[in-house]
Amino acid sequence: MKIGGNIPIVIQSMTKTDTCDVPKTVRQILALEKVGCEIVRVAVPNLRAAQVLGKIKEKIHIPLVADVHFSGKLALEAISQGVDKIRINPGNMTRKDLIEVFKAAKKKKIPVRIGINSGSLSKKVLAKYHGKATAQAMVKQALETIKLAESLGFKELVISLKANDIERTVKAYEILAKKVNYPFHLGITEAGTLISGLTKSALGIGLLLQKGIGDTIRVSLADSSQKEVKAAWEILKSLGLRERGPTVIACPSCGRAQINVARLAQKVEKAVEGIKKPIKIAVTGCVVNGPGEAREADIAIIGGKNIALIVKKGKILKRVREKNIVKELLNYVL
């Protein structure tokens, strides 16, 4: 798996299991693969977790990234286990550990993500910015670490600069993008629960991608990793950057609707979630926008009182009873 350059934006997620529980971690990764995760990261909080990475890697089908903080020893063990990439946080690692990690990664020919988080900048960097984790402070931490890696002849780097708010995150990436030419991993750290996390992630990641900044993304949610991946795909699909599986659009409904549009749209989404081919499905509930949306979609449902029309490319295919809508739709989608 390559990232950067003209390669399409790559989607990542992170497991939420105890990495030491190999079967459970593998099950979660395989589930992530099914919904389109292309790179997966696991936490490595202790030596035991580092030592099982090889067992995990041999059972999955996408690149495995070891997420290591504080300890160069853990990073070196992860590298020896054959992981595909190391993520380190220079704000909580010593210079000596960083040097050892870069040297080991260079020898193994694997990349390192320099993961800068606003909440864990080094005391030295924070002191230069009066104790405030500004966008400029984040960039300073990144540049110092990049310079160290380059001094060792190591340039297989990916950079991330994450804060828990959009403004600092976007500003940090914009500043660094003018100074270096490495691939960027995008995300808003600790974005929040489903609604708030999705909102901040979509805005922050979307703003940067629209500016041409970013090569791989992770939507961070206090929710399931599978939802992170699905959200990431929706962001990329909305921006026209990637295509995968159905896109279901639905009217918000109003007093004119004679069918429960929200419930119907949810049923449609669930029914088609396993489909991989790109297809646009419209679910509408009245004659105001229904016909227009139907013409623009590959296939559409225009709901009425206890019935619905199934429309393909603007042409009415069938009139069906409400209870049969999803079943009949699938005959034309699959």
Could you report the per-residue pLDDT of 235-260, keeping only the tens digit for each? 999 999 998 888 888 878 777 777 88
pLDDT in tens, 279-317: 899 888 776 666 676 677 888 888 878 888 888 887 888
Burial class (CB in 10 A: 0-12, 13-18, 19+), 37: buried
Mean pLDDT of the chain: 92
Q: Any idea what DSSP says for residue 92?
A: G
Q: Which CATH architecture has domain 246-333?
A: 2-Layer Sandwich (3.30)
Q: Residue 15's pLDDT is what?
A: 96
Per-residue pLDDT, averaged over 119-135, amounts to 93
Query: Are 70 and 95 in contact, with CB atoms under 8 Å apart?
Result: no
Q: Any idea what DSSP says for residue 9?
A: P
- Give 225's pLDDT tier (boundaries 50, 70, 90): very high
245 Cβ contact partners less than 8 Å away, ≥ 6 residues apart: 36, 233, 272, 273, 275, 276, 277, 278, 279
319 Cβ contact partners less than 8 Å away, ≥ 6 residues apart: 307, 308, 309, 310
What the block records as the tokens of 129 is 């910015």
d(CA 120, CA 56): 28
d(CA 108, CA 120): 28
Q: Residue 22's pLDDT is what?
A: 98
Q: Residue 289's pLDDT is what?
A: 62
- What's the predicted TM-score (pTM) here? 0.90
Q: Residue 259's pLDDT is what?
A: 80
Of the candidate ranges 25-29, 64-68, 69-73, the one whose mean pLDDT is the lowest = 69-73
Per-residue pLDDT, averaged over 26-44, amounts to 96
pLDDT in tens, 36-48: 999 999 999 999 9
Kind and range of the H or E element at 99?
helix 95-108
d(CA 65, CA 60): 12
Find the helix packing angle between 95-108 and 72-80, rounded to 10°. 10
pLDDT in tens, 149-186: 999 999 999 999 999 899 999 999 999 999 999 999 99
Q: Residue 322's pLDDT is what?
A: 84
Class of domain 10-238: alpha beta
On the question of pLDDT at 110 being above 90, the answer is: yes
* Domain edges within the chain: 10-238, 246-333
Q: Residue 261's pLDDT is what?
A: 84
